[in-house]
Amino acid sequence: MIAVSIGGGVLIPQAELKSGSFEWLLFTSNPKGYVLSNPGYIIGGKIKFDFPTLPVTLVGLISYSALSTDTTITIFSPIHTPEKSTINLSGKIITVGAGFEYGLFQRSPVKPYVGSEISLNILSGNVANLPFGISRNIEIKSAWRFGAGAGLGCQIEIPSLPFAVEVEAKYRLANLLGKDYNIPIFVDAMTRHLNDGKDPQNQTRSINYISIDVGFSFALSRN
């Protein structure tokens, strides 16, 4: 059977994705984290290839994730009066991947499964509402990283409906491979590198999160 699933849910940042402080973004070459502490959202879809004699389903997936956090800081400058400003930080992840799901009860209308995936992720970000009358935003240069994920899900078939309901929770690491670190930290005056790789203090930064999704699955063909 071939099926398509579409849905969305909440993204909960973990570790360095939610830690740190805003100051690293403007002034330091050693970021402690990406300051995106608030939950975000994820939307996406999957295409599934079932095999009638096997409990394994092959999966292709694509998703878009976004996070946003407001933080209030006081900036001190030798040429300006100290200014308190609310800064908006945002991050985006575009994911394309493939994986598998292993079903536990194939003949039941309630089908729990465990799943894993590998992925290619495009990571980017933005800092808005800068103090001192700066009209432009600081962009985080888009970076390509390889990632992985694993988790649990459940597909619920309702006989009177032409679709199944799917609930899934996964832990995802978006930059498992491909991290890098650049000096100087800025590409130009208003663009800086992601700099998730090993820095002069021998530290790296993981971009990881938990996603909890609800979606609907439609069969395109049956065996």
Residues facing 20 on adjacent strands: none
Cα dihedral 179→184→189→192 (10° resolution): 10
pLDDT at 78 over 80: no
- Max Cα-Cα span within the chain: 73
Query: Could you tell me the domains of the chain?
Result: 2-221 (2.40.160.20)
- pLDDT tens digits for range 139-181: 888 999 999 999 999 999 888 778 899 999 999 999 999 999 8
> Of 129 and 215, which is predicted with more confidence?
215
pTM: 0.87
pLDDT of residue 25: 58
> Of 201 and 76, which is predicted with more confidence?
201
| CA gap 5, 46 in Å, rounded | 5
pLDDT at 73 over 80: no
Average pLDDT, the chain: 86
- pLDDT tens digits for range 194-212: 888 887 777 888 999 999 9
> Of 10 and 133, which is predicted with more confidence?
10
- pLDDT tens digits for range 30-46: 567 788 889 999 999 99
Give the pairing type, strands 80-103 and 110-128: antiparallel
